[in-house]
Structure 1
Amino acid sequence: MYLTLRDRPGGKSGSKSPSRAAPRIATTVVLLGIVSLLTDVSSEMVSAVLPLYLTAELGLGVLAYGFVDGLYQGVSALLRIGGGYVSDRSNRPKWVATTGYALSALSRVGMLVAHSLGPISAVVTADRLGKGLRTAPRDAIIADSSDPKALGRAFGVHRTLDTIGAAIGPLVAFSMLLLVPGDYNSVWIVSAGFAAVGVAVIVLFVPNHRAKTARTAQNVRQLLREVTGPRLRRPLVAAGLLALFTVGDGFLYLSLQERDHFAAKYFPLLYVGTNIAYLLLAIPFGRLADRIGRTRVFLGGHVALLLVYLFAAGPFTGLSATIVVLALIGTYYAATDGVLPALVTPLVDPQARGSGIAAAQTVVVLARFASSLAFGSLWLLLGSTHALYLVAGLLAVTLAVAVWLLRAVAAAPTTEAAA
């Protein structure tokens, strides 16, 4: 990993770099990665035990979990566009992102008094609203801090640090429940502590990074014209269609547990396995996306997701089959999570960068919200195996449509080229 003392690429340094040297990753990107690491330790501590907490501890059914998982996936959409727009309009992305991180940190405390579906839904909603508010401004800062030719690698570095936290969180939760079985309140308290440290880091150390080019205030009509323009329309439609057939991790893990009957206390380790695969692949896939094309890597990630469904539903059992499924889920995230904003960034005017990234993320989370609700119903009607086979078939058809939608994106003029 290369770091630079200059946040903006192209700044003067003590010595000249060789012309073929890889663009350096800005310090701001690493600092935001540390913030995300701490925040993900907090959030994954909760999400890793939430399926069991709802179904085993509180006695709620799979459909109730599907509702909460839908909230977890989709509620952030309510503020993503707003967060991106306020960030673009005010040119203060750090403080918009900080507000989102603080809201999520406060929601952790709410888990201490949430013992039924209603209060838990409210806490999850607050957490996801915080995520929705912070994500686009944070990704806009990453894009503004990075060399346009290395956007995939920059987002890969950030997602790698983010995923280290996502791997640590379930381990912490698992260890606590192993030492004191059923002590979920301790999990919620420690989770809140990690989130508070993350807020402190962004407040104290992350600069309020501004766009490289001067921003002009845009009204809502101008914003809509930018994010629905011809450059961005096809990627948004493709990403939304693919997300409609993205089954939430919790459902996949519950399916594995139902199939292999492993002890509930090992459930959080499934999240660790996925995050280790993501951690190992995020930077290589980011570099690959910069080299061979971000649309190719993005689509390849969904091929990995299709394999996840087939392996999770198929006649494959035991530890080795579970490891394959977890590795494929991590591959899917490494090829899509950071690659999507890297794909979108060159297609949007820098003055609306936060809003453009937010538009893509909003389409995805809204589609995943619908997917979670639908899959919970399919599970009850068909069982987990047949439900996964059905979604796999639908995803295969959608992949063909997405290939057609995205085939012209690589050849489309970008904002950097226009400038």
Structure 2
Amino acid sequence: MNRFTSLAAACAVSLIGLPAMAQHEITWWDFLAGGDGVRMRAMIDQFNAEHPDINITPTTSEWGVPFYTRVRTSAAVGQGPDIMTYHLSRIPLALQEGILTPITDADLQAADLAIGDFFETAVDAASDSDGTLYAVPFDIHSIVLYYNRSYFEGSEFLDDDGTLTGINSLEDFERALAHAAEAGSRTPLSYQTGGAGGIWRVFYTLMGQQGGELIVDGEVLPGDNAQKAQRAIEIMANWGAQGWQPEQAEYPASVALFTSGQSAFHLNGVWEVPTLNDLQNDGSLGFEWGAVQVPQLLDQEATWADSHAFALPIQGNQEMDPERRAAVMTVIGWMQRHAIAWADAGHIPAYRPVAESDAYLAMEPNATYASLADTAYFDPRSQIAGVASPVYDAGVNVIGPAMHGFMSPEDAVAQMRAELQALIR
């Protein structure tokens, strides 16, 4: 044996017992921070442990514009990830930019999934106008109505089980707000009144409950939709005039008003459920709370909603290797079947077998508001709508001043319509 064969033999011996490299190294991008990020990392670690042939390497970028800008620029030159999280409200803009690859029936089959496994509202938001799927929905997250039971003890608004009841109209809700104020609530209704997200989600819910549409065939607030938008702003402005909601409360302040016991109600996303659970579990929350689907205050049930989804970006001018693509779909299928871990963050699984499972139906308050998945009201299908978009900017720059009394609701609608219409190409 010469020294070269001896070296080869030594190297072979030294490699015995080392784990084999995964056949597929999957690059993953997301925008998930806080509790969402912790839960997703745990899911990725579990997947990797169970799949020695596939290894996910995750990277988290800043939520909103920074993430989507990075996706757009990297996909164009073929330097993007194999898989990424995506907001379904951003799908129309992504289709205009041409940065997503369609999800085919063969893709779904590789993931052991089918279209019928998902809530129809989420599938519609994940598809183009021809019904082609461009993302696989992972959850439905919406605003819900949190409530502090202590303000409603012995009233018509709390049943024997401590569940909020008796709110079936705007008049009922405003009577409940007045009751809470009389019961000592300093700010009966808290939400983010000083930021784009909170204002937009409440406004859009009130629009949706009137059957309103912000954008139709490229036209902003056509027909009687302008009147419906004005009505939504009038309602929000009245809550302010009555002293029921805070002025210019940024997101953390709006949450603090509720968790400190000053607000009887809180309109916010399901993602705050873990916050309240944690505070209650460590004994620092001084009251019992619950959460329900936003009641039908106007003509029909509707609640602003969005979805986290999984999408596959283009790879510049290249096609993803079929075996690699199958591995990516294996990842997506596994995530869907293990979505009960994601539901722990307050989200409603978009995958019906999990959302309808005994394990999910035992989760509270999640199961109480799960019905909103069927009436979820997604942002307009437009390139100027969705997360971190011009319509969100209109929330803080136009609707905000009107709800705080600095301009009339009628003038706000006219300004919003003119500004948004100018952006539609």
Which interval holds the TM-score relative to the shorter structure? under 0.3
Structure holding more strand per residue? 2
| Bigger CA radius of gyration | 2
Q: Which structure shows the bigger proportion of residues in helix conformation?
A: 1
TM-score by length of 1: 0.28
